[in-house]
Amino acid sequence: MVSMKDIAQRCGVSVATVSKALNGQPDIGEETRNRIAAVAREMGYMTNSAARALKTNRTYNLGVLFVDERRSGLTHEYFSAVLESFKVEAEAHGYDITFINHNVGGKPTSYLQHCLYRGVDGVVIACVDFNDSRVRELVDSGIPLVTIDHIFNNRLAVVSDNVSGVEELVRYVYGKGHRKIAFLHGERTTVTQNRLTGFYRACEEMGLDIPEEYVRECVYHDPDRCAQETRELLALPERPSCILFPDDYSYIGGMNVLSEMGLRVPEDISVVGYDGIHLAKVLRLTTYSQNTLALGKIAAERLISLIEHPKTTLIDRIMVPGSLMEGTSVKEI
């Protein structure tokens, strides 16, 4: 294994100079620092994580708590894109990531105990039951933490702007002449509540009186449940001219029902999705594209800042806007 002494001999400098250069000390010239770094990369030098942990009181390891109850795991397009962005940014800062669960060595444990066992410097929480007592225990601990799409008091949060997202979709559909607009939303979560607020706020702004039966609860990332609710929606005496689906993936269920009933999109009925995954582009579905790159990147940046600069990092909520992605699924009336 390559050591600092090997690098020092290759560069013709002292071991102390190599150590300062690789640890970012300010009393080393830029040219010398760059030359040492280049030689270290060329020789395949890796820092000793145990030694670095003792010196800095850090493990340079971030925990990721991701519990997808739909069991789609990292095939969930939205969260996998967010976590990939988080991972890339974390690695750019020299951090590794570890997935947190409630089982260590075949024995049940809490999320907090797993974090302590792994010695993580901080945790990002995404796609969990935020009311789970094990999640609340972790949130209430002293571990630096950032949540995605959920807000706790006195904890960093990075949130997609779901209120504005649905508002923009409703305004777009209204602008196309639609007045009978239905909304199939996901299960009751903070995200859903924000989207419902955006939906009703935009409808009120446009002077639309939406029948209660037009607003129905589905489940995110569940085409089967979406198909069921779509079928019941279309069985109403006066069906809507446009349906807002909970997410692009769930729309598959609705699309199948429409096809079974011989309804064409957008000639017979208009539809919109949410998320902006690749599938939406293939189907040319009008949707709202969430900025997964920014969500993951900002979450990693702020968590690392909280770890490395705890006294100067502001504990706040960062709202990340997305953008409307226009397809061909909404007919102009």
Whether residues 25 and 167 share a domain: the answer is no
Whether residues 92 and 23 share a domain: the answer is no
Task: Output the pLDDT for position 79.
Answer: 87
Whether residues 188 and 204 share a domain: the answer is yes
In a domain, 332, yes or no: no
Whether residues 303 and 262 share a domain: the answer is no
Q: Return the CATH number at 96.
A: 3.40.50.2300
Whether residues 216 and 281 share a domain: the answer is yes
Residue indicated by tokens 């990340």: 320
Amino acid letter, 315:
I
Strand partners, 289: 275, 323
Task: Output the pLDDT for position 29.
Answer: 85
**CA-to-CA distance for 125 and 134, rounded, in angstroms?**
12
In a domain, 333, yes or no: no
Task: Output the pLDDT for position 131.
Answer: 86
Answer yes or no: are the C-beta atoms of 259 and 244 closer than 8 Å.
no
Q: What contacts 235, CB < 8 A, 6 or more positions away?
A: none
In a domain, 123, yes or no: yes
Q: Which strands, in side-by-side order, build the sheet including 270-272?
A: 215-217, 181-185, 242-244, 270-272
Whether residues 150 and 238 share a domain: the answer is no
Q: Whole-prediction pTM value?
A: 0.81
In a domain, 329, yes or no: no
Nearest Cα to 249, choosing from 134, 13, 78, 80?
A: 78
Whether residues 167 and 275 share a domain: the answer is yes
In a domain, 223, yes or no: yes
Whether residues 180 and 114 share a domain: the answer is no
Whether residues 261 and 272 share a domain: the answer is yes
Q: What contacts 290, CB < 8 A, 6 or more positions away?
A: 78, 160, 165, 274, 275, 276, 320, 322
Q: Which strands, in side-by-side order, build the sheet including 156-160?
A: 96-99, 61-66, 122-126, 145-148, 156-160, 317-320
Whether residues 270 and 168 share a domain: the answer is yes
In a domain, 326, yes or no: no
Task: Output the pLDDT for position 192.
Answer: 94
Residue 189, SS3 per DSSP: coil
Residue 203, SS3 per DSSP: helix
Whether residues 216 and 226 share a domain: the answer is yes
Task: Output the pLDDT for position 3.
Answer: 82
Answer yes or no: are the C-beta atoms of 195 and 163 closer than 8 Å.
yes
Domain ranges, residue 41: 4-46
pLDDT in tens, the chain (333 residues): 678 888 999 999 998 898 888 776 777 888 888 898 889 888 877 665 545 555 556 789 999 998 766 555 566 788 889 999 999 999 999 899 999 987 776 777 889 998 988 889 999 998 888 888 999 999 999 899 999 999 998 899 999 999 999 999 999 999 999 999 999 999 988 999 999 999 999 999 999 999 999 999 999 999 999 999 999 999 999 999 999 999 999 999 999 999 999 999 999 999 999 999 999 999 999 999 999 999 999 999 999 999 999 999 999 999 999 999 999 999 999
In a domain, 85, yes or no: yes
Task: Output the pLDDT for position 28.
Answer: 82
Task: Output the pLDDT for position 73.
Answer: 56
Whether residues 177 and 223 share a domain: the answer is yes
**CA-to-CA distance for 42 and 25, rounded, in angstroms?**
21
Task: Output the pLDDT for position 4.
Answer: 84
Number of domains observed in the structure of the chain: 3
Q: Return the CATH number at 32.
A: 1.10.260.40
